[in-house]
């Protein structure tokens, strides 16, 4: 379980494609405090830590593996050495819930279709897969690349969010541009309601 509040921006330093794909991710986290088997949301995708360490220069890192299924349903297949990732460690009992309950289960991949200045903030527009539009509602919650955001407006096939300066500078949205793809997790409550109404699919 996560909150959608990003606590570090990591960087892929190694990618190894074999049976599964292994990523080594540099981080500012105290890797000595990360247990093997711990969950870390990497740009919204919950991944299991299989190894940790430090480089000879003292840079902390952790390693994860992703299956072919995960690569095909998320943006992970496009990660390469140098890719920047939004990171969040799993919620612990007693932690402040500053965003909303996030599972780290990516529902689909959305395309950034527009980015415009809006005062001191930035307005982004996204086009999600058509089957996920029914879970998108004005003033509802959504997770994009692991970031908990409030939906501003909803169109026929797209929706918009406002990115405040802090979020813009502390997450990957400062580098994001139209044409980029992001991992999308819809609000779990919206999915449960749809299931109760017989509209999930």
Tokens encoding 140: 């509802």
Taking alpha carbons only, the member of 53, 52, 46 closest to residue 87 is 46
Q: Name the strand (E) or helix (H) holding 168.
A: helix 165-170
Q: Does 39 fall in a domain? A: yes
**pTM for this prediction:** 0.91
Is residue 183 within 8 Å of 43, Cβ to Cβ?
A: yes
Last residue of one domain, picked from the residues 89, 116, 139: 89
User: Looking at residue 53, which CATH number applies to its domain?
Assistant: 2.40.30.20
One digit per residue, the tens of pLDDT, for the chain of length 201 reads: 899 999 999 999 999 998 999 999 999 999 999 999 999 999 999 999 999 999 999 999 999 999 999 999 999 999 999 999 999 999 776 556 655 678 999 999 999 999 999 999 999 999 999 999 999 999 999 999 999 999 999 999 999 999 999 999 999 999 999 999 999 999 877 776 766 777 665
Q: Does 155 fall in a domain? A: yes
Q: Which residue has the tokens 């190694």?
A: 14
Q: Does 101 fall in a domain? A: no
Is residue 189 within 8 Å of 139, Cβ to Cβ?
A: no
Q: Is 93 helix (H, G, I), strand (E, B) or coil?
A: coil
Tokens encoding 130: 């058509």
* Domain region containing 157: 108-196
Tokens encoding 109: 């991949």
Domain count, the chain: 2
Q: Does 166 fall in a domain? A: yes
């Amino acid at each position: 379980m996560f909150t959608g509040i990003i606590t570090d921006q990591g960087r892929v330093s190694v990618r190894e494609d074999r049976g599964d794909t292994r990523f080594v991710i540099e981080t500012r986290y105290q890797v000595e405090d990360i247990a093997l088997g711990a969950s870390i949301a990497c740009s919204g995708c919950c991944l299991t830590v299989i190894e940790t360490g430090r480089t000879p220069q003292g840079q902390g890192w952790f390693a994860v593996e992703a299956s072919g299924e995960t690569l095909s349903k998320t943006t992970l297949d496009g990660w390469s050495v140098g890719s920047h990732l939004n990171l969040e460690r799993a919620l612990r009992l007693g932690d402040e819930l500053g965003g909303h309950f996030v599972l780290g289960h990516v529902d689909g991949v959305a395309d950034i279709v527009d980015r415009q200045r809006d005062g001191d903030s930035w307005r982004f527009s996204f086009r999600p897969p058509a089957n996920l539009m029914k879970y998108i509602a004005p003033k509802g919650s959504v997770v994009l690349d692991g970031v908990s955001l409030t939906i501003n407006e909803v169109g026929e096939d797209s929706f918009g969010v406002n990115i405040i300066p802090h979020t813009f500078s502390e997450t990957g949205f400062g580098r994001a541009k139209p044409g980029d793809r992001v991992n999308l997790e819809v609000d779990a409550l919206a999915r449960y309601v749809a299931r109760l109404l017989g509209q999930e699919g």
